[in-house]
Structure 1
Amino acid sequence: MSGVMVGRPAGAVQLAVGQSFTEYVQLTAVTGTGDREQKRARSLWCDPVGGDHPHGEAACRDIAFANGDFARLPGDSRKGVCGAGSELYDPVTVSATGVWERVTVDYQQTFENQCKLRVRTGLVFDL
């Protein structure tokens, strides 16, 4: 994504009259490959929290903790390490595009499986 995003993408949740947002990201997660590929996408607004993300408050808190740098998300420390089956290769590719504190966000990363994604990114990509 280049430049500054203007307006909201189609399908975004409507803000109440008089509300505005300063942080917005479109999050996607693609699991599987080939015929088994599944894509999920959610919108997340922070300040005020909105959109259709199922864990909006927690996701906004984690993104704020990382100062908008998705490579520095705090992850889920309660999850600790992945247990049995963690060596299973079932890739999940996640992306975030939008604006955080007037800076364009364009993040993409592939993780070996859902468990490793959760350990590294917490609930942000739990779509």
Structure 2
Amino acid sequence: MRNTARWAAALGLTAAAVCGPLIGAAVAAPGAAPSSLYAPSALVLTTGHGNDAATATPERAVTLSCAPTASGTHPAAAQACAELRGAGGDFADLKPAPDVWCTKLYDPVVVTVQGVWQGKRVSYAATFGNSCMRDAMGGGVFNF
């Protein structure tokens, strides 16, 4: 978690900027009607070169929200949300695209995800052998 805070600070992100829309629901009075029929889903995805999240320097970050509709700065938000729904929101269950061939050149790329998926806190980090392998995973979630 310490490394994620460092990544967020490096990107100029704050909890209020990432989860601002979620705060109203979190501090609502008991018995108050929810402000939305959808469970909150707001994610920040980062990528950078390195061997692990502790040592990788973030090079790019995008936001992704999937409820009620796909939105955010992710270039393929609708596709990414569909793939996440298909994996039940579990990033470890995303499958690589079947028709992508990548070289075995080792140039490690790290992806991190922080936020909320359907009302549950998410924290995920993975290292891929190179950017082709990262982009092939899940088809579009990490391709940004």
Normalised by the size of structure 1, how large is the TM-score?
0.73
Partner residue in 1 for 2:41: 23
Q: Which moved more, 1:20-29 or 1:45-54?
A: 20-29
Partner residue in 2 for 1:42: 62
Say if 2:72 is the partner of 1:55. Answer: no
- Letter paired with 2:84: I
1-structure distance, mates of 2:49, 2:61: 12
Q: Secondary structure at the match of 1:98?
A: strand
Runs of 4+ in 1 over 6 A off after TM superposition: 18-21
- Correspondence list, 1:70-109, <5 A: 70-79=91-100, 81-82=101-102, 86-109=103-126
Note the C-alpha offset of 1:57.
0.4
Gaps of 5+ in 2: 2-14, 22-34, 52-56
- The structure richer in helix per residue is 2
Gaps of 5+ in 1: 13-17
1:9 is aligned, of 1, 6, 18, to 18
Q: With CA pairs under 8 Å and 6+ residues apart, which has the higher RCO, 1 or 2?
A: 1
- Letter paired with 1:97: Q
- Letter paired with 2:91: F
**How many residue pairs get matched?**
110
Q: Secondary structure at the match of 1:59?
A: helix
Partner residue in 2 for 1:15: none
Would the alpha carbon gap of residues 38 and 97 (structure 1) be closer, same or farther in structure 2, given more than 3 Å must change? closer
Normalised by the size of structure 2, how large is the TM-score?
0.66
Say if 2:127 is the partner of 1:113. Answer: no
Note the C-alpha offset of 1:105.
0.6
1-structure distance, mates of 2:91, 2:41: 13
- The structure richer in strand per residue is 1
Task: Find the structure with the greater CA-based Rg.
Answer: 2
Give me the CA root mean square deviation.
Answer: 2.6
- Letter paired with 2:42: Y
